[in-house]
Amino acid sequence: MMKKTSDLRKDFPLLETKMNDQPLTYLDSAATSQKPKQVIDEIADYYNKYNSNIHRGVYNLAVETTDKYENVRHKVANFINAYRDEEVLFTKGTTQSLNWIAQGYVRYNLHEGDEIVTTYMEHHSNIVPWQAIAQEKNLKVKYITLTEEGKLDLDDLKQKVTDKTKIVAVTHVSNVLGTINPIKEIAAIVHQSNAILVVDGAQSVPHLPVDMQDLEADFYVFSGHKMLGPTGIGVLWGKYELLEKMHPLEYGGEMIDSVTTEKSTFKVIPWNFEGGTQNIEGVLGLGAAIDYLEEIGMENVARNDKDLQKYALEKLANIKSIEFYGPKDPNQRCGVVSFNLKGIHPHDVATFLDADGIAVRAGHHCAQPLMDWLGVSATLRASFYFYNTYEEIDKLVDSLKKVEEFFQI
């Protein structure tokens, strides 16, 4: 059984604060989640009790810190059910992870005329790196269309993926529409053409149980700060045989095996990718976040998120001027509800909500191709996590009704 939300909220200091003299209603967890005190304490403990560098010193403090750091790699591998610990690379986040794949794998394994396939619902981080490497190597980037409801058009996917396709890059959960893409089904289609499937898990790992051995993706990436961890830490998971074909992008201390004036040799995976002093406190904070999520249980997190989203969709439907984006079925979406009020710019609505202490995102959400597909310049986005309450959703609805009255909608 999951703890009561009221008890869980006590672990999150910021949720007890005010914004504009109003109790904070934080509905922007898709941008970054709040952090429990257990994560904050773990980071403080590192600096207070065992601050030292890793993989270097033989003194006890350094050995202890190294062990703690590598133990988090093991935690991550277990959390996502990787085949082996060494498949987990620490990066600064989803964006860097995708860039590493583009620059470290695609650069050395794709050739002129090869194709990369992505979708219209992607975050810019899963578009721009492919565009950049495609321009450099004269590759072609193609986009999978969406259904009217905002789901991936799998028939179009089957048409777009050909024997020229080498990379297919899709999000697991859309950061705008909330659409949950059927990764295992997509993987089967992609692998029929011997292509590689790259999955952006930034919005899925915080909300859903994920299993690398079941999903059958080839690369899977995510960020710590969206799953209760600190900023500046993320994960690039890849099948070991693909990581062997990938080149490190950062050369220097700690990733080397030996260095002479003529040449250098590098450590084995994953340490050959982690040059220089790593974000040690970030890794340890990520470990504490995983501990927290596992204590709750990801099945419970997913169930609670679904209940919140269903309640939000039902209550928001009472706003007469509202326009929703994304699947209508709560079972086919996760984490976010994007909408607009007809005739009112999203930034104006967000500013009004801010005065009531409600934090929502307004803008293109780093997904301008999707905004073009939707035919809007921006949307409002309320995103939920297990620490949100039904009362906060009611507060959002009441505030939106006041917006309608103010603008005489």
DSSP letters, 357-376, are: TEE-EEE-TT-HHHHHHHT-
Q: What letter does residue 105 receive in the DSSP assignment? A: I
pLDDT at 269: 94
Using CA atoms, how far residue 290 sits from 8, 194, 226, 396, in Å, is 15, 33, 12, 30
**What number is the average pLDDT over the span 377-389?**
97
Q: At CB < 8 A and 24+ separation, what contacts does 261-266 make?
A: none
Does residue 270 have a cis bond before it (omega within 30 degrees)? Answer: yes
Structure confidence by residue, pLDDT tens digits, 109-119: 999 999 999 99
pLDDT at 259: 93
Dist CA 386 CA 382 (whole Å):
14
Terminal CA-to-CA distance of the chain, rounded, Å? 43
Nearest alpha carbon to residue 321 among 375, 385, 397, 376: 397
List, by residue number, the catalytic residues.
366
Query: How would residue 102 be classed by pLDDT, with cut points 50, 70 and 90?
Result: very high
Backbone dihedral angles phi then psi of residue 177, each to the nearest 5 degrees: -85, -20
pLDDT given at position 3? 82
Asked if pLDDT for residue 174 goes beyond 90, the answer is yes
Cβ contact 249:100 at 8 Å: yes
**Mean pLDDT, rounded, of the chain:** 96
| Other CB atoms within 10 Å distance of the CB of residue 240 | 13
The predicted structure's pLDDT at residue 2: 73
Phi-psi region of 357 (alpha: psi -120 to 50; beta: other; left: phi over 0): left
pLDDT number for residue 1:
58
Place of tokens 């035919």: 375
Q: Decide if 18 contacts 397 (C-beta within 8 A).
A: no
pLDDT value at position 95?
A: 98
Strands 115-119 and 22-23: unpaired
pLDDT number for residue 330: 87
27-47 pLDDT, tens digit per residue, is: 999 999 999 999 999 999 999
pLDDT tens-digit map of 251-285: 998 899 999 999 999 999 999 999 999 999 999 99
Q: What percent of the chain has pLDDT over 70?
A: 100
Q: Token pair for residue 362? A: 């307004």
Distance set, CA 3 to CA 16, 26, 307, 392 (Å)? 18, 20, 15, 18
Above pLDDT 90, what percent of the chain?
96
pTM of this prediction exceeds 0.85: yes
pLDDT tens column, 204-263: 999 999 999 999 999 999 999 999 999 999 999 999 999 999 999 999 988 999 999 999
- The domains located in the chain, with CATH, are 5-29+297-406 (3.90.1150.10), 41-294 (3.40.640.10)
Q: Is the pLDDT of residue 121 over 80?
A: yes
